[in-house]
Structure 1
Amino acid sequence: MFKTRVCELLNIKYPVLQGGMAWISTAELAAAVSNAGGLGIIAAGNAPADVLENEIKKVKQLTQKPYGVNVMLLSPYIDEIMEVVFKEKVPVITTGAGNPGKYMKKLKEIGTKVVPVVPSVALAKRMETLGADAVIVEGTEAGGHIGELTTFTLVPHVSRRLTIPLIAAGGIVNGDGFVAALALGAEGVQMGTRFICSQECVAHKNYKEAVIQAKDRDAIVTARSTGHPVRVLKNPFSRELLKLEKEGRSKEELLKFGTGKLKLAVEDGDIVNGSVMIGQVAGEICDIKTCEEIITDIINEASNRIKNMSNFV
């Protein structure tokens, strides 16, 4: 029922991708998602190239299925990161914070599928022109770095203007969201926050518990004044950051204040002083399951939703 062009393009059973989350999307999580029939993605973040290379070698030991790497094009190590991608012949890369055009020719030569993350119609059309194989359309409901448009406004806008497949991200956590995304023109979904609360995710238990305890209004937006807004959990860290913004502190001061805070939350479990990046769907997550259970639940819920909807036709 849910075989789409995304499944064919990425050679996966279900059109479900796991988002590339810095410090969270490791080989363990990516392999578990891939083994469950989706596409697991390792986050390169701002890590040096040797860290990514080790994660890729690890994921190859943990799964024989396709996997991906999320590349931040503004990384200080981007050229070295891309050399690792070329060397390891990574099957899929998703890209953010920049233009992948510089690397497109070589990626095509080694057979890598290129799927940029985009927050607008204009950027989606530009990526198609550059030769992207698909795009991930991410709305402001997502955790971490965000755009301004909502997922379910942006998806139909983009889908009517592209010929390549579209994957919806931001605000999707269950089968209902999956069906809604497909109804609006998407051919797959990407989820981040839901996979944080998986057994295979290496994030500290405090981070996972913070997601589970979050309510519908607890994921707030910070750092708008820097030009790079970030959605995070409402906690002492984010409140202080908002206070500094209101005082008119410089972009440099704000960036310095936030440096290292995500790692502090993910690895050390400091959810008071750390940056807990979560999407608005956190209020819908109440348990920790295996990646296989998460994906199976989504597909089953989506199938049941469609069956129930058929009663109204």
Structure 2
Amino acid sequence: MIKTRLCDLLNIQYPIIQGGMAWVATAELAAAVSNAGGLGIIGAGNAPADVIRKEINKVRSLTDKPYGVNIMLLSPFVEEIMDLVYEEKVPVITTGAGNPGKYIPKLKEQGIKVIPVVPSVALAKKMEQIGADAVIAEGTEAGGHIGELTTMVLVPQVSDAVKIPVIAAGGIADGRGLMSALSLGAQGVQLGTIFVCSEECTVHENYKRAIVKAGDRGTVVTGRSTGHPVRIIKNKLYKEFDKLEKSGASVEEIEKLGTGRLRMACVDGDVDMGSVMAGQISGLIKDIKPVKEIINTIIAECDSIIDGLNNIVRGEKLD
């Protein structure tokens, strides 16, 4: 049994949390992850509070385990979402795209754990200083909005820099990834792309199949010239982004092209002109499975690796 400080902090069985992906991380997926021993997360994205309230009520009807809400701090509804999670006493929130510092004192009044996503050591240290309970160190291998540092180099540096638990994210989808993250100093992992390819995930089947079909070079990064790069599955939309960026188009033109594209992929199933956000780990995902099977397999693989390493230490020969 793999148990870390993160398990104690969040009152979960396994050190696995689910990414708070907009249009993807619904109550159904969050409840399935929580019921399987991890921490399921509802992705608030740019949705208003009334939509997220329904998701919170739904997740509570599907599980009695801890869950969380991911809040994008650039959302036009961020203030009302913060009021909502405070009012509903959501056990955990993860945050992205900004500094949650001004909200932390009030959230802590309700015992809510705050876990920001960070792309650098400097930001991780800042989050610890302002009272974050843990940080998610996310490497550039991840899907969606990304930083520049890889998970392999970011996680150990962040782990050395802060005393709060570090959660590794980006490029992790199996027991080898979990074991690697723990070896680098993390107390757990955040998984996104692998959970998109679960039976309980409510995104369009075309979205899941696009990930399953992707190879090791199946993802690309768009929008670097805007300062907000996004990793997606290579498709016709990527070619349009590439043309615009190479032509020297303005940030406004590039951002206009991206408007509504995630919904187009997730809800409508248009994987040619929709934004199929997915990580580089897509090439490792070969099928669609129940969440419980995904988590149990990851834990069993990690346990097996630990047993194998113990055998090496004892000088025993591996099979």
TM-score strictly above 0.5:
yes
Q: Deviations over 1:145-193 (max 9, x none)?
A: 0000000100000101111000000000000000000001000000000
Aligned position for 2:41: 41
How many angstroms does 1:306 deviate by?
A: 1.2
Distance 1:112 1:69 in 2: 11
Where do 1:1-313 residues align within 5 Å? Answer: 1-313=1-313
Distance 2:242 2:108 in 1: 43
Q: Which amino acid aligns with 2:56?
A: I
Distance 1:80 1:252 in 2: 27
Q: Which amino acid aligns with 2:289?
A: K
Distance 1:192 1:246 in 2: 30
How many angstroms does 1:311 deviate by?
A: 2.4
Q: Deviations over 1:271-292 (max 9, x none)?
A: 0110000000000000111110
Q: Deviations over 1:90-132 (max 9, x none)?
A: 1000000001011111100000000000000000000000000
How many angstroms does 1:239 deviate by?
A: 1.2
How many angstroms does 1:312 deviate by?
A: 2.0
Per the alignment, in what secondary structure is the counterpart of residue 23 of structure 2?
Answer: coil
Q: Which amino acid aligns with 1:60?
A: R
Q: Deviations over 1:290-312 (max 9, x none)?
A: 11000000000000011112222
How many angstroms does 1:17 deviate by?
A: 0.5
Distance 1:10 1:22 in 2: 22
Q: What root-mean-square deviation, in Å, do the aligned CA atoms of Structure 1 and Structure 2 show?
A: 0.6
Per the alignment, in what secondary structure is the counterpart of residue 172 of structure 2?
Answer: coil
Distance 2:10 2:243 in 1: 44
TM-score normalized with structure 2 length: 0.97
Q: Deviations over 1:246-267 (max 9, x none)?
A: 1111111111110000000000
Distance 1:133 1:21 in 2: 21
Per the alignment, in what secondary structure is the counterpart of residue 160 of structure 1?
Answer: helix
Distance 2:261 2:71 in 1: 20
Residue ranges of structure 2 left out of the alignment (5+ in a row): 314-319
Runs of 4+ in 1 over 4 A off after TM superposition: none
Distance 1:46 1:204 in 2: 19
Distance 1:162 1:48 in 2: 34
Q: What percent of counterpart residues are identical? A: 66
Q: Which amino acid aligns with 2:171?
A: G
Aligned position for 2:316: none
